[in-house]
């Protein structure tokens, strides 16, 4: 269980994390999504007891991060966004080293390491030196390392960052496997789509504020209820917007690349009516086509609309 209550971190006048209220139930995989600088690393490092909150509280498995940091550390596996590995160790030695750091019962270490290497698909690399692994393999090894002391909670800061598409896919498979282990997992990323298959819930962090939290299932339902229509053409200034504003199925209009992207919540027949209306208004439409709706854009637009932005 991860809980934060009005958690804040300020650097001088700047609030890197502001009044964060988060509740992540046991066994949930939660994705924290935000652009660069949104405050993800700051939030995660407070939960990992590496940075002290300016105000507010954070609890991991009921332990408060500033008052009981040692107890918190025992319950978490933390993968920072930038990490170093001990180059002159083999994969197995590396895992044994961390098991020793956490005083894992030596009788359990081999079986646990074998199991984790299987989960992160590195079984055949057990005797390879860590510095000979690709970046993707090192990042998967880090996940195994975080799990060596069998923590209830995993905190992973951008585990897929810097990976090529193939390695990202492998990482996604590994993250997917974590769900079956029953861990409570908090993953940060700046790419929401990466989490759609992996997370149960997603929160959007913008300039330090958690602006929206939703179950992934709800988001996926949303994405099938909304369509993005691309409209290009020649119109009098403001004319297109006026006609679109009168259509109650138009959720959002967004100018992009000398045209408009319209978020639409009507049926196909209603969409056809909209096109007819535009033509009846004498507009020279050169494109009126459905585009794939980017789930991240959709989520951000819907949360911005909710906020009245």
Binding region for ligand ATP (CB under 6 A): 11, 16, 34, 36-42, 81, 190
Work out how close the CB of 162 gets to ligand ATP at its nearest, in angstroms, rounded to a whole number: 12
Residue 171: how many CB atoms within 10 A of its CB?
Answer: 23
**Residue among 31 and 39 whose Cβ is closer to ligand ATP:** 39
Closest-CA residue to 113 (of 135, 143, 81): 143
DSSP readout, 139-205?
A: HHHHHHHHHTT--SEEEEESTTTT--HHHHHHHHHHHHHHHHTT-EEEEEES-GGGGTTT-SEEEEE
**Residue among 51 and 297 whose Cβ is closer to ligand ATP:** 51
**Residue among 11 and 269 whose Cβ is closer to ligand ATP:** 11
Work out how close the CB of 111 gets to ligand ATP at its nearest, in angstroms, rounded to a whole number: 36
Paired strand residues for 232: 287
Phi, psi dihedral angles at 18 (to 5 degrees): -130, 120
Closest-CA residue to 57 (of 6, 2, 1): 6
**Residue among 42 and 139 whose Cβ is closer to ligand ATP:** 42
Residue 235: how many CB atoms within 10 A of its CB?
Answer: 19
**Residue among 112 and 190 whose Cβ is closer to ligand ATP:** 190
Work out how close the CB of 44 gets to ligand ATP at its nearest, in angstroms, rounded to a whole number: 8
Work out how close the CB of 34 gets to ligand ATP at its nearest, in angstroms, rounded to a whole number: 5
Work out how close the CB of 7 gets to ligand ATP at its nearest, in angstroms, rounded to a whole number: 13
């Amino acid at each position: 269980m991860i809980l934060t209550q009005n958690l804040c971190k300020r650097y001088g006048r700047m609030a890197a994390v502001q009044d964060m209220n988060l509740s992540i139930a046991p066994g949930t995989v939660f994705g924290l999504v935000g652009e660069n600088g949104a405050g993800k690393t700051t939030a995660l490092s407070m939960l990992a007891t590496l940075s002290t909150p300016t105000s507010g509280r954070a609890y991991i498995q009921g332990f408060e991060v500033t008052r009981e940091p040692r107890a918190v550390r025992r319950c978490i596996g933390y993968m920072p966004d930038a990490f170093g590995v001990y180059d002159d160790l083999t994969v197995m030695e590396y895992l044994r080293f961390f098991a020793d750091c956490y005083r894992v019962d030596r009788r359990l270490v081999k079986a646990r390491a074998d199991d984790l290497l299987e989960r992160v698909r590195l079984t055949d690399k057990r005797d390879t030196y860590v510095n000979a692994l690709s970046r993707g393999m090192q990042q998967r090894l880090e996940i195994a390392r975080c799990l060596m002391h069998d923590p209830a909670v995993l905190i992973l800061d951008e585990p897929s960052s810097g990976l090529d598409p193939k390695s990202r896919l492998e990482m996604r498979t590994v993250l997917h496997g974590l769900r079956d282990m029953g861990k409570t997992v908090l993953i940060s990323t700046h790419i929401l789509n990466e989490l759609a298959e992996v997370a149960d819930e997603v929160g959007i962090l913008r300039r330090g504020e958690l602006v929206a939290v939703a179950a992934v299932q709800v988001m996926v339902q949303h994405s099938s209820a909304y369509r993005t229509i691309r409209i290009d053409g020649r119109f009098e200034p403001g004319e297109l917007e006026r006609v679109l504003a009168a259509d109650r199925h138009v959720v959002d209009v967004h100018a992009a690349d000398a045209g408009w992207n319209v978020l639409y919540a009507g049926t196909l027949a209603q969409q056809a009516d909209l096109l007819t209306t535009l033509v009846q208004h004498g507009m020279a439409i050169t494109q009126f086509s459905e585009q794939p709706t980017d789930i991240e854009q959709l989520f951000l637009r819907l949360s911005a609309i909710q906020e009245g932005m």
